[in-house]
Amino acid sequence: MSVLSSKLDQKYYSMGEKAGDQECLNLEGDLEELRETFNSGKTRDASWRRSQLKAILNLLKENEDDIFRALKQDLGKHRCEAYRDEIGTLTKSVHFALDGLKKWMSPKKVHLPIIAFPATAQLIPEPLGLVYIISSWNFPIGLSLEPIIGAIAAGNVVVLKPSELAPACSAVLASVINKYLDNKAIKVFQGGVSVSQQLLQQKWDKIFFTGSSQVGRIVMAAAANHLTPVTLELGGKCPAVVDSISSSWDRECTFKRLLGGKFASCAGQVCIGVDYILVEKKFVSTLVSKLEIWVKKMFGDNPKECMARIINKHHFMRLQNLLSDPLVKASIRCGGSFDEDNLFIEPTILVDPPLHSAIMTEEIFGPLLPIITLENIEDSVNFIRSRPKPLTIYAFTNNEKLKNMLISGTSSGGITFNDTLVQHAADTIPFGGVGQSGFGRFPPWDDKKLQLFRDAYRYDYIGIGLTFLGLKKY
């Protein structure tokens, strides 16, 4: 562990632990203050909403190094990955909210039947009130501040409960939110399960939860006591359908995007990451050999330098146990080594593990990638349909018939063709799952990649070109 990480502990943890204890003791008082703030009408004002959104921009800019260090300490994330998946997406989301705020707040006229003449009608957007956000550990900054951005833009007051499994990030969030945002309208409660349970027992106007389906059931049951509306961002086994590719360029692009969608984002600990691949038997040998080559190109001889680590020993052992079945272990084609001291698992590819095994019935949430072979790629539709609905389906194909079969024959939160993860960055399309999944971007990392991410999230197309050509300082 670096000296900087140790200093981060000293800077945030002592304050964070005390704040967490105090907030638990003053729970009723804090929530009453939030309700009073909301009832005062303060958060309905456009100027308040804009000021808080702009404060988040300053928070991200002025605390970027601390956020990088916290993400490195909790998850081993490289700063390029941290910017791409958390700081950059948040910056983009704030600008999107600022640009859309006036339109979102404006009343909308609706048409009435002639019989109602001369009456008129409007739909007036109204904030819900007191919002409880429970964030997860795999994107501890992004999945905390992203829903806060939406809640603020809609004029709500907010309580955030960060994940205790990412303690450095939790402490940073408590510190910077307290410093930059309106403490009478936005509060952070740190702590473990007991704190979450105390908060869930309160009456809320909205609960936003990101995490596992098991905990999602607990959240939904608690919300039912007060008939509180919930948004559950859960997970699922997201398949990637790989059809025959028509050109060499398509093939190379496919391999990079498959690996990027599995290993290059939080070491596969991401709900929208590729969980397994479906491919025709006749293509599997080519696919495996090419993926092995690209794993080496992207992550080098020492993947620890650019890949995130597993969040804790419990999840490390869970992933190790997925390979404990002898038939699963026998299906490993590359990788498979574990470094328990550093909580690191190298990219591992398997071919045709038993379909009844845990690796094919549970969400993997780690750097293990099964490949399942089919006689015909069209069989992928029935394969996906026979299993719980995924959060996302990825399909690499130029076959319009297969695309239509997947669209009409399966149900998921979304389908992305010929890419992975990119849908998460698109502001103009909804993000979410169905059923049990809930209601240029590749390593190796360097300063040039980081600057490209900065330019991309600002939509600075000239900057992207200059950086790509090496004509811009980074």
Q: How far apart are CA 147 and CA 222, in angstroms?
A: 20
Task: Give the per-residue pLDDT at 13.
Answer: 38
Query: For residues 422 and 91, is the Cβ–Cβ distance under 8 A?
Result: no
* pLDDT on residue 19: 39
Peptide bond into 444 cis (omega under 30): yes
pLDDT of residue 319: 96
According to the model, what pLDDT value does residue 468 have? 59
Question: Which two tokens mark 166?
Answer: 């990412």
At residue 245, the pLDDT reads 64
Give all strands (DSSP E) within 153-205, no chain letters.
157-161, 186-188
Q: Collect the ranges in the chain with pLDDT lower than 70.
A: 1-25, 244-249, 425, 427-440, 442-445, 461, 464, 466-471, 473-474
Report helix angle 213-224 to 193-200, nearest 10.
30
pLDDT at position 3 is 29
What pLDDT is recorded for position 248? 56
Active site residue 271: yes
Q: Tell me, what DSSP letter sits at residue 395?
A: E
Q: How many helices (H) and strands (E) does the chain have?
A: 19, 16
Q: What are phi and psi of 200, to 5 degrees?
A: -65, -25
Closest CA to 352 of 366, 336, 368, 371: 371
Tokens 């799952």 correspond to what residue? Answer: 433
Provide the pLDDT for residue 5: 32
Please tell me which residue in 169, 238, 266, 271 is annotated as part of the active site. 271
Which residue carries 């900057």 as its tokens? Answer: 463
Beta strands (DSSP E) in 128-233 are: 130-134, 157-161, 186-188, 206-210, 230-233
From residue 443, alpha-carbon distances to 27, 189, 307, 309 in Å are: 44, 35, 9, 15
Helix/strand/coil for 203: coil
Q: What is the pLDDT of residue 10?
A: 38
Q: Is 363 a catalytic residue?
A: no
C-alpha gyration radius of the chain = 23
Q: Residue 212: its pLDDT value, please?
A: 87
Quote the pLDDT of residue 430: 56
Peptide bond just before 118 cis, omega within 30 deg: yes
Choose, from 233, 280, 346, 363, the residue flagged as catalytic: 233
What digits encode the pLDDT tens for the residues 411-458?
888 899 999 888 776 766 655 545 544 445 756 667 777 777 777 777
The CA distance from 76 to 315, in Å, is: 15
Q: Which two tokens stand for residue 84?
A: 């791409």
How far apart are alpha carbons 36 and 30 in whole angstroms? Answer: 10
